[in-house]
Structure formats: structure tokens, C-alpha cells
Amino acid sequence: MYKLMIVEDDEALRTNINEMLLKWGFYTVCANNFENIISEFAKNKPDFIIMDVNLPYFDGFYWCAKIREISEVPIIFISSRDTNMDIIMAMNTGGDDYITKPFSMDILTAKINALLRRTYSYGEKPLDLVECDGVILNLVDNTLEHKGEKIDLTKNEFKVMLLLMKNRGKTISRERIMRGIWDDDNFINDNTLTVNINRLRMKVSDMGLKDYIVTKKGYGYMIL
């Protein structure tokens, strides 16, 4: 079953689209945080996105371009704007199709099914992400993103963050973290781990994430 995310701030239209997709047997989620659609995308991991152009904070073109930095998930635009420039913008920012309002629900469904067949018949999948409260760890390029700010992580910093984020709410011992980041070419001792944790904390603190990594004295670390 494919998961479709609806990014539409018009509640009536969003409800109509959602009900139609449910009748077709799709699993749907509706974006609620229009200030950070990337966070919604990372949290829900949809297979397909229906994106309105006119949105609060940033328009659909902006969010499409941001999603294209991390994923090739199909995106279809819906909009009351029908100028050639709008359609060109939709395609240039990474959109796969464009439908002007008002539109037939049957046409929308047909286009969705066609795009799903073309995309997933070849086994293509969205890129992997890990998300915790709007903090996004990209498993492909080892970056961390929060509220539009992105930072690069070293190999060790990435391994530490991945372990903590995947075990959110659980305390991870220093010994387990050291085992997780040790490899044949990189010996990790207690002092090296402390350096990596402190450096990682400084980076996330600069992103406005103060106290994001919590110390459990005498045992290890966790993300609440």
C-alpha cells in the first residue's frame, strides 16, 4: 500500500482529496506543519506527494526544491495558478505533473496511479532519513538539518547521532557507542568518544538545539 502525503492548506479541498484517496485504497497523511514541510516529509516518509502551490510561509515550489535535495519521490502540483511561468516553475523545481484548480478527482487519481507505476515499477524508493522532532539526519550524505539549516557531520559524529536518534528515549551506554563507531582503521577509546560527543554537541547547539543530547551520568547519553 502506497502512502500519499497531502500538502494543502485549504481544509475543505484537503478533506475531499483525502476521502477520495482512501476510497481508492491508499494510505494517506496530511501535512499540518506548513512552516516545516521537510520535517513532515521526514516524519511520514511518503511514497507520493500532492503539493499545493500557495501555502503559508513558503510556497510549494520552495518545498519541492528542498525535497528534491534528498529524495526523488513523485510530486504532483495542484494550483489555481495556471500561467506558463507557474507550470515551468513547477517542473524546474522538480515537480512531476501540474493540475489546475478546479480539477476532476478522477483525473487526479489517474495521474497519481500513472506516476506511481512509472516510479515504483523499477524499484525506486525515497532516500532514507531519520527524524526526531524536526531534526533530520540524512543517511545518504551524512548531514543534519533543523529548520532549514544543514550541517555536515564527520563519520564518527554521524554514527553517534544515528545511534542516539534511532534509540530516542533510551539511554545508550558509552561502551555501546564506542563499539558502534569503532572500525579497523579508527580505534576509539574513552577520551576519543568524549571529544566526539563534545564536538557534536557544539554543532547541534549552533543550530539552536541546546541540550539536545542529554548525559546520563555514569552511564551514557540519550535524546529525549
Q: List, for residues 55-80, the tens digit of each pLDDT value.
A: 999 999 999 999 998 888 999 999 99
The count of other CB atoms within 10 Å of the CB of residue 58 is: 15
Tell me the sheet residues that pair with 7: 51
Q: What does the block give as the cell for 76?
A: 504532483
Query: Do 162 and 130 meet the contact criterion of CB atoms below 8 Å apart?
Result: yes
- Residues paired with residue 193 on neighbouring β-strands, in sequence order: none
Q: What is the pLDDT of residues 188-215, one digit of tens each?
A: 778 888 888 999 999 999 888 888 999 9
| pLDDT tens readout for residues 34-51 | 999 998 998 889 999 999
Give the model confidence (pLDDT) of 121-168 as tens digits: 755 455 578 888 788 998 888 899 988 888 999 988 998 999 898 888
Per-residue model confidence (pLDDT) at position 187? 64
Categorize the per-residue pLDDT at 184 as very low, low, confident or very high, splitting at 50, 70 and 90: very low
Host H or E run for residue 69: none
pLDDT at 130: 85
CA–CA distance, 125 with 154 (Å, rounded to integer): 26
C-beta separation of 78 from 54 below 8 A: no
Pairing outcome for strands 149-152 and 214-216: unpaired
What distance, in Å, lies between the first and last C-alpha atoms of the chain? 32
Which residues have a Cβ under 8 Å from the Cβ of 195 and sit 6 or more positions away?
none
Enter the C-alpha cell of residue 53: 502551490
Whole-model pTM?
A: 0.66
Q: Which domains does the chain have, with CATH numbers?
A: 3-120 (3.40.50.2300), 129-222 (1.10.10.10)
DSSP H or E segment with residue 62: helix 60-68
Q: E-assigned strands of 43-90?
A: 48-52, 75-79
164 forms bridges with which residues in the sheet?
Answer: none
Q: Which of 155, 135, 137, 154 is nearest to 207 (CA)?
A: 135
